[in-house]
Structure 1
């Protein structure tokens, strides 16, 4: 049984909660429900979206490497693919079908009536959000990140093979590949550097390297240095260097969290909190964006005080995690019934290895 790495739970929980908070802020602004919260702090929080993306990418590389990095045998591609499919698709399909049925009942007709049926292949494969900028798809949940991370999962065996020959070679390879999008400009395809798997390969490889050399997190001295550098980088003005700046800040945040988590882990209450929120984070991720877009313009309230704005956001975040818990449990039951597989905690995690 592999060692449990607490700071991976912390990173996953913090990053997903930040994503929900940012989308809450944005949707409240879009629907003019944020009157009490139009302060610089909110704008600054929204600006952390790119750094949160970086945390997720680094986390994905680290979590996969934790499972496969120390094995002497080569990856069995069939078994690897099976585990990735079980970690991504059952909960995605269950959540999508539930929301599809709900919207059909709510509207009185099926959603996406103008889209050809064959385009549902994009949804079946979870690429509908990632391809949406360049292709009409029946997208509802999961956003661009799912298709994006699936591509990185496919590249993981190659990166692992290079790592076993030369860790430095893997990082050099990932860096050179990450530089390519800057030359062909993915914006020409309707995408951006932030949603390009090639552009984010270096962060993914960094996560792989980090877990192999800093499994217990960075030392106190290294954590302090990372925190100081992070504080300095927050004073760098915006410019054409924003993308690499966010990459570096994501790496530094990951390092700082790995250090601080050593102290957090001493509390059983905190350990259980981050374990629970991490365990059901994938369900919350799948559900949250569509829920906020559907709920806020129809039933959302406009808090009259800043405290009310934050309290309202906390209530919605807790509710979203609660639904993530229910969706995960339901999917576990269905997996057991359909595939005759006992839903273990590791399988229930679903996104726990990425």
Structure 2
């Protein structure tokens, strides 16, 4: 396989997505998810462009996954077994390391292990890295680290060779089918149906990855000034209009694609030395940050009375969380590198 140079714009967007996810799970403590809503204490905003900030982060991650994989593998043959093996080795070892560290911490703090009479059979989802996705869908799990997106991206890696084949053979047919599938699944709601939620989080979001592949394939079109203007107009209209009739994930896709295009245009203006180094660092440690950040944030904030702290205190507390998340992420990364080297 021909090794291609990194595209700064893609790294820049990935770094932005990492920041959004960090803010998302800290802000969840102040928007009614983990207690009373206190919107004045959120970091920056919880609802940019009239959608949940977590949806924007996930949307960008899905798009960047499709765009970056298509950039690397476009017009190249993929050996399915080697591709999946490589991807799983990039995901699971670091997940296991993070999980063990979190488990040991909990074991020490709680003076033992308790599974609240939950059947150990649910540990199977942890072994394969799907525990957070299962928990998000409403199933029991032993989730400690990572997010539901981890299970989603593993599914994407598994089907990517097939997606790529269809996309290259019948590009517009694949795009149309993807749009139809995405809109159909995300428009139908079955309250309390865990299996349907699971479908929405997996099959229902695979089309967004294809949208990312499309953005990469037609990247030269995106670089034109008219694409920037259209994207800004879309963000403006949705930000100040009432589009609540649209399902949240459909709004997520529209906003994320528009924001992706805008960031593609802006990236070159942020390719300064210190910013570029920061982007490179965030991209390098993005995965371990993704794995450990939610667990660490939960452990830190529970030591504070969130009802009494002020807005400035909230920003300081967020900084404290980052000061713990970043070094532990580096630690997890280095442990994984040592174990991989040993192998």
TM-score, normalization: structure 2?
A: 0.88
Partner of 1:344: none
Map Cα deviations across residues 225-252 of structure 1 (whole Å, 9 max, x no partner): 3123212221122422043222100100
Partner of 2:20: 18
Partner of 1:53: 58
Partner of 2:94: 91
Which residues in structure 2 correspond to 1:4-153 (within 5 Å)?
Answer: 4-28=6-30, 37-38=40-41, 42-44=45-47, 47-71=52-76, 73=77, 75-112=78-115, 114-132=117-135, 133-153=137-157
Partner of 2:259: 253
Moved more, 213-222 or 267-276: 213-222
In structure 1, distance between residues paired with 2:39 and 2:170: 54
In structure 1, distance between residues paired with 2:154 and 2:124: 15
Change (3 A) 1:70 1:322: farther
Question: How far is the alpha carbon of 1:193 from its aligned partner?
Answer: 8.4
Change (3 A) 1:102 1:66: same
Map Cα deviations across residues 114-168 of structure 1 (whole Å, 9 max, x no partner): 2333322110101111112342111111121111222222221121111121211
Partner of 2:159: 155
> How many residues get paired?
335
Map Cα deviations across residues 296-315 of structure 1 (whole Å, 9 max, x no partner): 11256777543342233234
Question: How far is the alpha carbon of 1:10 from its aligned partner?
Answer: 1.5
Gaps of 5+ in 1: 340-354
Map Cα deviations across residues 7-61 of structure 1 (whole Å, 9 max, x no partner): 2211221112111112112225666799693589644358222122111111111
In structure 2, distance between residues paired with 1:196 and 1:310: 31
Partner of 2:218: 213
3-state SS of 1:27 partner: coil
Moved more, 254-263 or 209-218: 209-218
Partner of 1:229: 234
Contact 2:30-2:41 within 8 A present in 1 as well: no
Q: What's the C-alpha RMSD, in Å, of the aligned pairs?
A: 2.7
Question: How far is the alpha carbon of 1:224 from its aligned partner?
Answer: 3.1
In structure 2, distance between residues paired with 1:194 and 1:279: 31
Moved more, 88-97 or 225-234: 225-234
Which residues in structure 2 correspond to 1:146-225 (within 5 Å)?
Answer: 146-182=150-186, 185=189, 187-190=191-194, 192=197, 195-214=200-219, 218-225=223-230
In structure 1, distance between residues paired with 2:39 and 2:59: 30
Q: Is residue 269 from structure 1 mapped to residue 269 from structure 2 by the alignment?
A: no
In structure 1, distance between residues paired with 2:10 and 2:109: 39
Gaps of 5+ in 2: none
Which residues in structure 2 correspond to 1:236-315 (within 5 Å)?
Answer: 236-243=241-248, 244-265=250-271, 267-299=272-304, 304-315=309-320
In structure 2, distance between residues paired with 1:112 and 1:241: 39
Map Cα deviations across residues 239-284 of structure 1 (whole Å, 9 max, x no partner): 220432221001001111111002212x122111101011101111
TM-score, normalization: structure 1?
A: 0.85
Change (3 A) 1:193 1:96: closer
In structure 1, distance between residues paired with 2:42 and 2:144: 31
Question: How far is the alpha carbon of 1:68 from its aligned partner?
Answer: 1.1
Contact 2:181-2:204 within 8 A present in 1 as well: yes
In structure 1, distance between residues paired with 2:188 and 2:228: 36
In structure 2, distance between residues paired with 1:129 and 1:158: 26
